[in-house]
Amino acid sequence: MADSSTSTDSTEPDGATEPAGAAEPGKAGDSVGRVELVRRDRPVYVIGGGPGGLAAAYALRAQGVRAVVLEKSDRVGASWRGHYDRLHLHTTRRLSGLPGLPMPRRFGRWVARDDVVRYLEKYAEYHELEVVTGVEVSRVEPAADGYGWLLHATGGRELTGGAVVVATGYNHTPHLPDWPGRDDYTGELLHAGEYRNAAPYAGRDVLVVGVGNTGAEIAVDLVEGGASRVRLAVRTAPHIVRRSTAGWAAQFTGIAVRHLPVALVDRLAKPMAKVSVPDLSAHGLPRPDTGLYSRVNAGSIPVQDVGLIDAVRKGRVEIVAAVEGFEGGEVLLTDGNRIEPEAVVAATGYRRALEGVVGHLGVLDERGKPVVHGARTPKNTPGLYFQGFTNPISGMFRELAIDARKIAKAIVRDADVRLSRLPG
C-alpha cells in the first residue's frame, strides 16, 4: 500500500504509543511549535481518507498535532477509485493540489481520475500520515469525562480523541429515487456510481437521468462509446459553462466572483452565457430562468461543458422530460410520453449519510448537511469539525486545501483543555 498505515492497536485509547515522528512538524515547515494532547492517548481523529481527510491530517501534523485518519476501505481515495473511467478534474492542476505537495506537471492541466488516485496515495506516503484502514466510524458522541469525543467504530472499538474532523465526503452514498414501479422495471437500471465506461452499452438505447456534471459527461461518454441512442432526462435546465475559454478556466472566474453579491454575479453571468454558450432551446435545453449564482447557493453547480453542447446540437444526445416512474419495460416521463430504453443510468446524486454518525448531536440541517463547515464548529459541539461538505464554484480541491489549514489552526487555538503547547 502506498499510504503509511499503523496497526489498529495504535488507535486504542488505552494503548497510546506515539509513532516515530508523529509529533514532528510537517515537511512544508509551517509548524508553529510542538503541541501534544494533555492526554497522550487522545489524538485528533479524522474520519475519511479522501482528499479532505488527508489534507486535514497533514495540516494538523504541520501544526505539531498527532492526527489519525480512520478510513473504512482498504486504501485511501476510495471514492475516487470508484468514479467512471473518463472523469477528469474540472479544476486546473495548479489550483487542485493539497497543502504541502503540488500535483505533478505530467498530469496535465485537467487531471484524470487515475492520476488523482496516484496523487492521494503519494500524498499520504510523502507526508507520512497515520492512516488506519478498515475502520468505519458508526457514531460520535461526547467523551464521558467531558474532554473530547468518543468514537464507536468497527469491531466494537471505542476511540477517544481530543477533537474530530468528519471528512467522509460530499458524494458518500448513492441516491436512487423511489420512482413508482422502479422495482418491477424489466430493463437495466443502475446508479451513476456503478457506471464505469460505455463498453457494455455499445449498440444499445440508453437513458441518462439527471443533467448535473456527472449525467452530462456520462451521456457524452455513451455517445462517443457507440451507444445506438442516448437520451438525457432533464427536470430543470442547468446553467452550462465552458470549462475553458481561450485558456481562461471557468474556475478562475469562480474564484474571482465567489465573494461578490449573489445578485451581481447573476447579472454578470447572463450576458457572458449568451456570448459563450449557444441557445439550445430548440433542442430542449432553454436558458435557465434563475441566476447562475443563485443556483450555486441552492446547491446546484453549473455544468462544465466537456462535449454536451456539441452532442445536443447535433442530436446525438436527445433531451427528454424528467422521469415520473416505470411500468414494465417502459419509462414514464412527466410530459406524458413513454419510452423504452434498454438501460437507464440514474445520475441522481448522493447523500452525505451523516445521520447515524452525528445526527443525534443536532449538527445537521434538514437536508442532512452539516450546519457549519471548515474552521467553524457548532456551538453545542466544540471540537467537532466538518471538512468537504460544500460544492464550491471555486473548486472542491482548492477549498479543501484552504479549509484544512483553517481547521488545524482552529483546533490548536481553541483546544483549551484538549491540547497544550510545549516550548520549543
3-state secondary structure 334-380: CCCCEECCCEEEECCCEECCCHHHHHHHCCECCCCCECCCCCCCCCC
Residues 312 and 233 in one domain: yes
Domain membership of residue 3 (yes or no) is no
Residues 214 and 292 in one domain: yes
DSSP-derived 3-state class of residue 277: coil
CA-closest candidate to residue 153, choices 164, 145, 347? 164
Chain center to CA of 3: 20
pTM of the predicted structure, to 2 decimals: 0.87
Amino acid identity, residue 222?
L
Residues 199 and 337 in one domain: yes
Domain membership of residue 144 (yes or no) is yes
User: 396-413 and 51-62 helices cross at what angle (nearest 10)?
Assistant: 40
71 class by beta-carbon count within 10 Å (0-12 exposed, 13-18 middle, 19+ buried): buried
Residues 237 and 146 in one domain: no
End-to-end CA distance of the chain: 34
CA-closest candidate to residue 171, choices 388, 382, 409? 388
Domain extent, residue 284, equals 175-349
CA-closest candidate to residue 384, choices 210, 142, 218, 33? 142
Residues 216 and 166 in one domain: no
Residues 139 and 21 in one domain: yes
Rounded Cα–Cα distance for residues 163 and 417 (Å): 11
CA-closest candidate to residue 225, choices 205, 201, 189, 207? 201
**Residues with Cβ < 8 Å from 134, sequence gap 6 or more?**
8, 71, 72, 73, 74, 154
Helices (H) and strands (E) in the chain, counts: 10, 24
Domain membership of residue 1 (yes or no) is no
C-alpha cell at 193: 456510481
Number of domains in the chain: 2
Rounded Cα–Cα distance for residues 384 and 366 (Å): 19
Which CATH number is 95's domain given? 3.50.50.60
Residues 205 and 59 in one domain: no
| 424 residues of the chain, pLDDT tens digit each | 333 333 333 334 333 333 333 333 334 434 333 444 444 458 999 999 999 999 999 999 999 999 999 999 999 999 999 999 999 999 999 999 999 999 999 999 999 999 999 999 999 999 999 999 999 999 999 999 888 999 999 999 999 999 999 999 888 899 999 999 999 999 999 999 999 999 999 999 999 999 999 999 999 999 999 999 999 999 999 999 999 998 999 999 999 998 999 999 999 999 999 999 999 999 999 999 999 999 998 888 999 999 999 999 999 999 999 999 999 999 999 999 999 999 999 999 999 899 999 999 999 999 999 999 999 999 899 999 999 998 889 999 999 999 999 999 999 987 654 443 323 3
Which run of H or of E encompasses 252?
A: helix 250-257
